A and B are shown apart, each in its own frame.
With several copies, the nearest count.
Chain A
Amino acid sequence: MICKVLIANRGEIAVRVIRSCREMSIPAVAIYSEADRGSPHVLMADEAICVGPAASLESYLKVDHILAAARKTNADAIHPGYGFLAENATFARAVQEVGLTWIGPSPETLALLGDKVSARRLAQESGAPIIPGGLEPTADIEAAKAIASEVGYPILIKAAGGGGGKGMRVVTQPDELRPAFERARSEAESAFADNRVYVEKIIEQPHHVEIQVFADQHGQVVRLGERECSIQRRYQKIIEETPSPFITQQVREELGRLAISIAQACRYRGAGTIEFLVDKDQNYYFLEVNTRLQVEHPITEMVTGFDLVAEQIRVASGEPLSFTQEDIQPRGHAIECRIYAEDGFDNFTPSTGTIVELGAPSGFGVRLDHGIREGLEITPYYDPILGKLCVWGQTRPEAVRRMARALEEFRVVGVQTTVPFCLAVMNHHSFIRGEYSTRYIDDYLFELEAWSQADTENLSEVAALGATLFTTAYESKLADHSNVEEADSNWVRLGREQQVSR
């Protein structure tokens, strides 16, 4: 049995893991960079160890410092969260080599699924369609031509070595292929030191749908339903929901079966997510496997009722899964909005600053996972995620309305967040009808912003009135319902009194 867990992460996911540890009566150790000394994950943990300065490379990615922290605190297991070292096979192996339990799939599985080619081959062998052309990358124009004519135009050229849009080209006709291929290859070479590219069929109006799977060390594999993650900005998810409002029951079943087959084929262990693209005609293609807990796991927890982090810890301890496939009966509808420190109506540019006010939504069906507090400075060092607001409803319309209500309640002052953007989405006809693909933000950002600005006339007047009264308040007198004096000023007053009385 695991006796003490070190969480090799920060922010909301570290807080999330601490909570399950505490419910299992397992002490939790936080690590922190110097920039995070005052972060909630440090405050909530039983123990906290500094692993280096602000830069991730010097702290959260510093394997030897993390292992030293585990040794120092006698932690016997490491939970990597998501991001940072979560899918790093070398780290997982190092953890196991010093005799600690790695809460995640085996290093071999991480390596196998971390490689695009081997992952796609595994998926294909398990019966999952892959995007036509996308099995192996090439640097040869003749091979590219052959693939293109096989899958049919338009095609997409995509760098094998990385992502983020670099080395990407859309080709609609055969005579455009050669110049596009050459440019993509040279971009890929300079960006990733790897000039191979994929030549893939273009998926029109694609949906991003993923299946949550869970496997124990005794060969049991289950699936916990799908998540629709098509609302993305910069290829990163921002709003997710389950069940998908788009896929048919038949596709749901097929994806679920394929996900299980893939997990079985690589002897998967723990929590994993099999990602698929689904086109407008419900054709689906394997994308990749996320060999860790997903950011958006809470919505699956809300509809199934199972604590996935607790299950990860149990499975890593060698226990069999605590539920069977039959026990998994999703109920109702859940939605997640990721709260990033970004201005959704200014190109999602990251926002830094100090959170001077934090009003968290609450009430029936609302769950907030966050790693912030009033007075916390949001630094530019890490991922801009502040937290995740999730809601559950009996029905999708109820969940959408509940999310809108919760977002309206959410007060974060000091940094720009994606709260206004998400609120606009909850009030947008296309999302309300459940009709959207990964093109959603491209198609509707203008409408969303217009909705968000609709009551500017009234609100700007209220703002002007507020500022005016604020000004006069220092001439006349403002009713003060704050009732709080700073410890400092108490201290100063006290010091004064003591000086007097001595």
Chain B
Amino acid sequence: MIFKALVADREIQLKLRVESGKPIVELQEYSPQLDLVKLTAFSYSLLVDGQSHHLSIQPSRNGFKVDIRRRTYHVRLQDELDITIAKLGLKDASLNQSGKVVAPIPGLVTSVNVATGDKVGKGDHLLVLEAMKMENEIRAPLSGKVTDVHISPGDTVEKGVELISIKGREDLK
């Protein structure tokens, strides 16, 4: 699996595989010898090619808070799906500020939560688009009124296809 780690304004590309029960991480074409053990509730020892690091790792809402050498790093791991979306340039396409909600990736519509005429708030769940074996919840990019629903459950859509139209509050004034 390919991860991307976002940490301290950097993007670090990581490849992860498991060999005979042990995780192998590849970092820019190089696989350091890794050994992580748990010490106490939050405290871990990580050896990277024998280099000893005493870490504190706390999962947080957005990823991980990692304390190392009196420094705190916030690490966000992005998995293949996220990376693919980002590559397609469609990341957060459904969260733009226009009233057009488009499919960020090709997929199957499995459910639709709104109908024409509904009022929606920004972030409300509109529909579920199944793609890459994941259910992706598509949310409202702005508050307003649903003016059109272009799809139904069971529809297969191509990326970029308009799914739902919303007229924003500003427009409604």
Contacts and interface: CB of A to CB of B under 8 A. Distances in A.
Q: Classify A-B as touching or not with yes or no (CB < 8 A).
A: yes
Interface of A: 30, 37-38, 42-49, 72-73, 356-357, 359, 373-375, 407-408, 410-411, 413, 416-417, 419-420, 423, 452, 455-457, 459-473, 475-482, 484, 486-488, 490-491, 494, 497, 501-502
A357 B42 contact: yes
B59 A48 contact: no
Contact of B77 (A45, A471, A486): A471
Given A466-B46, A470-B64, A47 B52 contact: yes
A463 B75 contact: yes
Given A460-B7, A479-B37, A481-B39, A466 B12 contact: no
Given A462-B48, A470-B59, 17 more contacts: A38-B37, A38-B45, A73-B50, A356-B41, A357-B56, A413-B42, A460-B7, A460-B10, A461-B12, A464-B5, A465-B25, A466-B57, A470-B57, A479-B38, A482-B41, A486-B42, A494-B61
Nearest to A497: B61
- Which among A30, A413, A481 has the highest number of chain B CB atoms within 10 Å? A413
B45 A42 contact: yes
Instruction: List the 3 shortest-distance A-B pairs measured between CB atoms, nearest first.
Output: A464-B5, A463-B66, A463-B73
A481 B38 contact: yes
B43 to A, nearest CB: 6
Contact of A464 (B7, B58, B59): B7
B134 interface: yes
A344 to B, nearest CB: 10
A45 B51 CA distance: 8
A472 B67 CA distance: 19
B120 interface: no
A464 B12 contact: yes
B8 A460 contact: yes
B70 interface: yes
Interface in B129-158: 134-137
Contact of A463 (B16, B22, B40, B68): B68
- Main SS at interface, chain B: strand
Interface of B: 3, 5, 7-8, 10, 12, 14, 16, 18, 21-23, 25, 27, 32, 34-48, 50-61, 63-64, 66-73, 75, 77, 134-137
A467 B3 CA distance: 11
A373 B39 contact: yes
A418 to B, nearest CB: 10
14 contacts: A38-B45, A44-B52, A46-B52, A47-B50, A410-B70, A452-B71, A455-B69, A463-B75, A467-B7, A470-B59, A471-B77, A476-B23, A482-B39, A486-B42
A477 B51 CA distance: 22
Contacts of B38: 473, 478-482
Nearest to A485: B41
A72 B50 contact: yes
B48 to A, nearest CB: 6
A423 B71 CA distance: 12
A486 B55 CA distance: 15
Nearest to B47: A48
Contacts of B72: 416
Contacts of A373: 39-40
Nearest to A48: B52
A337 to B, nearest CB: 12
A410 B69 CA distance: 9
B42 A487 contact: yes
A467 B75 contact: yes
Contact of A46 (B14, B16, B51, B60): B51
Nearest to B75: A467
Contact of A457 (B10, B42, B135): B10
Contacts of B137: 501-502
Nearest to B43: A357
Nearest to B8: A460
A465 B39 CA distance: 17
Contacts of A476: 18, 21-23
Contacts of A487: 41-42, 57-59
A397 to B, nearest CB: 22
A34 B75 CA distance: 30
B58 A45 contact: no
A424 to B, nearest CB: 10
A45 B52 contact: yes
- Which among B34, B58, B63 has the highest number of chain A CB atoms within 10 Å? B58
A465 B45 contact: no
A478 B36 contact: yes
A375 B43 CA distance: 10
- Which among A469, A481, A494 has the highest number of chain B CB atoms within 10 Å? A469
Contacts of B40: 357, 373-375, 482, 484
Contact of B54 (A43, A374, A461): A43
A467 B77 contact: yes
B39 A43 contact: yes
A99 to B, nearest CB: 21
A49 B49 CA distance: 9
Contact of A467 (B47, B48, B57): B57
A423 B14 CA distance: 32
Contacts of B16: 468, 472
A467 B32 contact: no
A48 B51 CA distance: 7
A258 B110 CA distance: 86
